[in-house]
């Protein structure tokens, strides 16, 4: 019988020294997504503009952008990398934890159950070393011949 792993808890917290970062756009209170293997994090301006009161089409568009990034980014990792993470039973790799903790995203369950994750979180930089990723600006040429690889 196959069973699903227990859900993993993530603790989100403020970014230490956020006020000292210049040209840093990531907003932890707005939608984002991240890679559980390498810790790359995606949030573009569209995500930061979304509020609970936003029109549904804007919220749907922002969601589509995140899913597009996640789908595209997942392909940058090998099947073996995905399988190793799944077999580990952890939500993220220690390498991802090192990149996520400075953004205020701590994989709490992994940190409690794994010394490697606990160490990764404890030794992660206190502030993000770079900003969240964004998708390249799509170029539309019309409905019949879009050059964009993204469906928007």
Q: In the complex, which residues of this chain contact Zn ion (CB under 5 A)?
A: 35, 37-38, 40
Taking the least distance from each CB to Zn ion, the nearer of 38 and 108 is 38
State the minimum distance, in angstroms, from the CB of residue 26 to Zn ion.
17
Q: Specify whether the CB–CB gap between 26 and 41 falls below 8 A.
A: yes
Q: Contact, 136 vs 128, CB < 8 A? A: no
Q: How far, in Å, CA of 75 to CA of 66, rounded?
A: 14
- Choose between 40 and 110: whose C-beta lies nearer to Zn ion: 40
Q: Is 18 or 77 the residue whose CB approaches Zn ion more closely?
A: 77
Shortest Cβ distance from residue 70 to Zn ion (Å)?
Answer: 10
The helix (H) or strand (E) run that includes residue 41 is strand 41-42
Instruction: Kindly list the distances between the CA atom of residue 66 and the CA atoms of 35, 42, 43, 55, in Å, as whole numbers in the listed order.
Output: 11, 7, 8, 17
> CA-based Rg of the chain, rounded to a whole angstrom?
17
Q: Which two tokens stand for residue 141?
A: 């040429």
In whole angstroms, how close is the CB of 71 to Zn ion at the nearest point?
A: 12
Name the residue nearer to Zn ion (CB basis): 80 or 147.
Answer: 80
Q: In the bound complex, what is the minimum distance in angstroms from residue 18's beta carbon to Zn ion? A: 24
């Amino acid at each position: 019988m196959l069973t699903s792993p227990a859900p993993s808890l993530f603790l989100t917290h403020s970014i230490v020294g956020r006020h000292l970062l210049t040209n840093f756009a990531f907003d932890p209170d707005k939608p984002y997504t991240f890679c559980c293997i390498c810790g790359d994090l995606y949030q573009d301006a569209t995500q930061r503009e979304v509020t609970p009161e936003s029109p549904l089409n804007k919220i749907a568009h922002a969601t589509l952008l995140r899913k597009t990034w996640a789908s595209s980014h997942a392909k940058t990792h090998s099947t073996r990398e995905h399988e190793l993470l799944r077999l580990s039973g952890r939500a993220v790799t220690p390498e991802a934890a090192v990149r996520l903790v400075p953004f205020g995203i701590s994989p709490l369950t992994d940190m409690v159950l794994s010394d490697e994750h606990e160490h990764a979180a404890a030794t992660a930089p206190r502030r993000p070393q770079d900003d969240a990723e964004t998708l390249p600006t799509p170029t539309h040429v019309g409905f019949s011949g879009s050059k964009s690889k993204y469906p928007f």
